[in-house]
Amino acid sequence: MSINDDILSRGLKERALLSLYEKKLDTDLTKVMSSHKKRLVNSALKNGNKSVNALNRALTLETRKTYRKIYKNGISELKALANTSSKFHNNTLKESLGKVYRSKVYTGLKVNDLIINSAGTYSEQIASISLTQQRRIKDVVRKGMIDNLAVNKIAKNVGDSIDLPRAQLKTLSRTAITETSSNVSNATYKLNEDVIDGYQYVATLDSRTSMICGRLDGKVFRLDDSRGVRPPQHFNCRSTTVPIVKSYEDLNNTNSPRISKRKLQRISKSKRASFNGQVPSETNFEKFLSQQDDNFKLTVLGNKRRVEIYNTGKLKFTQFSTREGQLVSVSRLEELLNGVKPTNKGLATTVSTTVNKKQAPLYGNTTSEELQLLKDNYGNVEDEFTKGFRQLKPLDSIEYGGGQYSKFSDRLRIGSKVNNLGDDMTKTINWKTTVIHELGHRYDDNIIDIVKSNPDNFKKLSKGFVDLEIKEYSGKTYIGYKSKKYSKYRPSAKRPETMSELAVDSMIDDYNDLTYKLKDRRKNYIYESQKAIEGTTYEIGSKGFNDYYKKLNISKKSFLTDNEIRDYIYHNRSTNYKYYFRNLNSKSDITDADIYNFKLKLENKTLDSSILSTYDRDFRGEMNDYIGSISFNKIGAGHSDGYYKKFPVIGRTPSARVLTEGNSSEAFAEYVAMLRKYPDKEIQSINRKIAEHYAPNTTKTFDELVKRIGEIYD
């Protein structure tokens, strides 16, 4: 058995122990909430004949007391888990490498600051669930009073109100365990990068494994891969990672004082053979699923027809879901099974290779495969963006099966060309936006190097955005920059690695605006939404309900029309997503209440209204990522904070929030996908209005940067 096989075996055992630990905490939480329910009911019975305010105060006091206990117990458990996990990784390296290497132990995790799935810290989410529960109890009391219910009936309804938060707390607890374990693992890998080459993503192999983690299972990433993914990828995520130890040759060539070359060279030939540096040969989820019975497959794939198609073996496992883990529609799988090629109705699919009097190729000296991607996804319109793209050299390689761009290898990796239709109701090709996003990264990463080769051009590009520092060293020109407005928070000059970094001041301006009194804005959104709900007792879908919200919509002004909002919401919905427990089959299924709620979000500049939501389903995923990258997921949700922090710092906000190249890079890629090259022009127009509303400074600066590139290379 190789060292990496041994480490994988240990990692799987640790994950099994974590599952037992999760069950223990679930049991403990059930006991706490059961006691809480009894106390709530007793308090309601005891204070039911007093004033409404007195009753609410008593119930609120009990709720706050219970949630403080839950938070305190949770923090204590997570700290203990972090300590245990750190020791486990240290012992694993000691057992595997023996006296060859002196491993380091990680002890720096602050669990109360733990970011859970980009939806806020552990403490913030506990507080949010507590506040929501307090509002829910008040609503139960108010409704009971209005309906003239008996005190014992109100008390029972108050007790029943804890069912939802109990489920939310369990989900939060399980996700926090995975997040804690993952953070300790990642930090330990980095501390011991002398011997660790990368890590492997390992999903729990059972029927509850999500399609997201099933697709990632067995994937290997280098430690320095900025686009590597780690658990948790979603709430209730139970995946883990295991380190990949370097080969004997690599260890012997590593100049690390913690590696004993003398002891390494003394190990036996059989032991030396175990240092092969290879990825452990373990069953991945795709192979695991193929070996299960149809009942098991049904729980994963959702319906019998998908199982039948899967059993034919004619389609790849990855073709059954999108990158986000959403199952592909049966009708689309039928098309793939029958060899029907995707249609691009209504989208530009042909491009003239000549665009001006000089007869210059539209996209420059590209490879034939890249040219086809550009033709299919960018269309045949020459603009400032196209003029910049023409300066880029051809891609070194294009691969299919993921979604990332690497500047170091100039490699583009995207999803399968075959499975390029998403499950979007308007048949917009989601695959196209992925391609556009990744090519946006390529543009951002490389155009800056071309511009920097001529200092005069760089001055034209950066004028008014940043302060330049141009120096000569050994006959070479050094170009650095720093913030103009926030220079005291960014004291030293830095080489620009991407064009989007030049928008640093604009992004900080938008960050300040997006986060200013955010809690108050969210409270106002919830208050207005609840106030509207309280104004009607009709059920959803009734004529009275819609008439009521129609009147509200007339009085609620917005920069988007009601029809634009209806189109936008419909465009974002997938056919297998139930919105307010309803399937959206047509635009008419979107009620006036949906539109009013959307207007409230726009008015208060809020996204992500649900505590257990990774992003706001009322907005395009690209919009969530765009706003999320600027606000560090305080509004919207894109990559995790840990992802952004991997990159070099390009600026700091007055509140000391670090802004990195990752933030600007992701914002620009989504800007290209949404506002420059989005396939549906009507939705693109709405995207622009929303982007200019939430992030006017960044959007305007990106517009200007692309315009200047076009002028420089016209």
Burial of residue 123 (number of CB atoms within 10 Å: 0-12, 13-18, 19+): middle
Is the overall model pTM greater than 0.75, yes or no?
no
Strands 397-400 and 411-414: parallel
CA atoms of 557 and 549, how far apart (whole Å)? 13
Residue 72 pLDDT: 87
Is the pLDDT reported for residue 312 higher than 50? yes
Q: From start to end of 303-361, where are the E strands?
A: none
Degrees to nearest 5, angle at CA 32 with 27 and 36: 145
- Contact call for residues 213 and 237 (beta carbons, < 8 A): yes
Question: What's the sign of the alpha-carbon dihedral 312, 315, 316, 320?
Answer: negative
Residue 429 pLDDT: 55
Of the ranges 142-156, 349-363, 474-488, 542-556, which one carries the lowest mean pLDDT score? 349-363
266 is written with which tokens? 């003394």
CA atoms of 549 and 533, how far apart (whole Å)? 10
Work out the pLDDT band at 356, boundaries 50, 70, 90. Answer: very low
- Give the tens place of pLDDT for each residue, 29-58: 888 888 888 898 888 888 877 788 888 888
- Contact call for residues 266 and 291 (beta carbons, < 8 A): no
Burial code (b: 16+ CB inside 10 Å, e: under 16) for 673-711 equals: bbbbbbbbeebeebbbebbbebbebbbebbbbbbebbbe
- Give the tens place of pLDDT for each residue, 534-590: 665 444 444 566 778 888 888 888 999 988 998 888 777 644 444 443 455 556 667
CA atoms within 13 A on the CB side of 61: 10
Residue 360 pLDDT: 41
484-506 mean pLDDT: 84
- Give the tens place of pLDDT for each residue, 149-175: 888 888 888 888 877 778 778 878 888
- Contact call for residues 294 and 207 (beta carbons, < 8 A): no
Who has greater pLDDT, 375 or 467?
Answer: 467
Average pLDDT, rounded, for the chain? 77
549 is written with which tokens? 């919200």
Amino acid at 228: G
Residue 424 pairs in a beta bridge with 574
- Give the tens place of pLDDT for each residue, 420-463: 444 444 444 577 888 889 889 999 999 998 998 888 899 999 99
CA atoms of 642 and 619, how far apart (whole Å)? 23
Looking at the chain, the whole-number percentage of residues with pLDDT higher than 70 is 77
Who has greater pLDDT, 201 or 418?
Answer: 201
Looking at the chain, the whole-number percentage of residues with pLDDT higher than 90 is 13
Residue 205 pLDDT: 56
Q: Which domains does the chain have, with CATH numbers?
A: 3-265 (1.20.120), 292-337 (no CATH), 368-452 (no CATH)
